[in-house]
Amino acid sequence: MPILFSVTLRGLFTMAVLALLSESAFSAPPALPALNADLSQTSISGLSSGGFMAAQFEVAFSNSLVGAGIVAGGPFYCSGAYSSNTYIMNATTTCMRPIGPGPDAAKLVDIAKQFAKEGKIDDLSGLKKHKVYIFSGTKDNTVTTKVVDQTLRFLELAGVPAENIKYVKTKGSGHALITNNANDVACEITAPPFINDCDMYQAHDILNQIYGNLNPPTDKLSGKFVAFNQREFIDSDRTSMDDEAFAYVPASCETNRCKVHVALHGCQQGVAVIGDRYYKTTGYNEMADSNNIIVLYPQIKPSKSVPLNPRGCWDFWGYSSPDPAHPNFFSKDAPQIKAIDKMLKRLGQSRS
């Protein structure tokens, strides 16, 4: 009898484990599909920490991108602007609300050139072909215009032609991505979820500036939202990246080769915090749908332990690096940047 009881228990335990594994496999998001995307027409944009990350990714992969949209974001390697300060100190002062001088764009360009010589990022010459949209709201007291001015200065000094840059700093908005949704935050306010109704869709302007001569946005989406396993692309336990991310795929992109735009949310804007509002309501998809553009929405989630990222921000000061004194958050090998690059490569693979 004891032997039979032991065998029965073992059988029940095995069945329970198999059931759990089966349930886990069933609930896990699917893999990001290969869509034969035209990666020679890839671009990126972001707000706040996503804007800083967009600036980093644009410079790190300048040879692979055609442009960027930087909303309330500072220049490449901003948190390394002054070696007398720690990276986190620069990130929260010099790169946000500097009392004295803001980040020194000329110095940051020199640093970037050295990084390129070391093979950490692409040569800056790749920026010469880029089209860039930059934005700073006049009511934004989180990342002030003094900082965003240096984003413009960096790109100009790095070789982006002045005629390729659209810098908007006359709109009375708070720290937010701008929409034309009546239920979003009032334009001049800075408050969660940092998506503000200013009677225009900033996403439309970003895509128009980068790609030019686009069709008007559609009134009704033709495509589908794809939830996919983001964990597959992460090879570090310090990224603060969520297990799941999203993409919008227009119906035309199921059979045709489409461009790809990466849209990065800001702090406290990942799906873990605000649900689907950033990737469904900010206007990117309507413009993408009528212009054969796949929109990729990578996701960050808050982390209160290791790495310490309680507000769910993209890394522009080094929390994803094991050695905070020598971080690599800006480089092609940085864990977040590398994960996004892997996602893009998957989208560019031939359909099976």
Three-class secondary structure of residue 13 per DSSP:
helix
Residue 242: name the closest of 190, 279, 205 by CA. Answer: 279
Look at residues 269, 279, 272, 222 and name the one whose alpha carbon lies nearest to residue 247.
Answer: 279
175 is catalytic: yes
Q: Could you say which of 38, 49, 104, 175 is catalytic?
A: 175
Are 135 and 200 contacting, i.e. CB atoms less than 8 angstroms apart? no
Burial class (CB in 10 A: 0-12, 13-18, 19+), 44: buried
Burial of 68 (0-12, 13-18, 19+ CB in 10 A): buried
Of 38, 122, 140, 197, which is the active-site residue? 140
Per-residue exposure over 269-284, b if at least 16 CB sit within 10 Å of its own CB, e if not = bbbebbeebbbebbbb
Angle 147-59-127 from CA coordinates, rounded to 5°? 100
The tally of CA atoms less than 13 A away on the side-chain side of residue 60 is 24
Which residue in the list 43, 45, 48, 320 is annotated as catalytic?
48
- d(Cα 210, Cα 200) in Å, to the nearest integer? 17
Find, among 156, 190, 166, 167, the residue nearest to 48 by Cα. 190
Sign of CA dihedral 41, 117, 94, 307: positive
Q: Which residues are catalytic?
A: 48, 140, 175
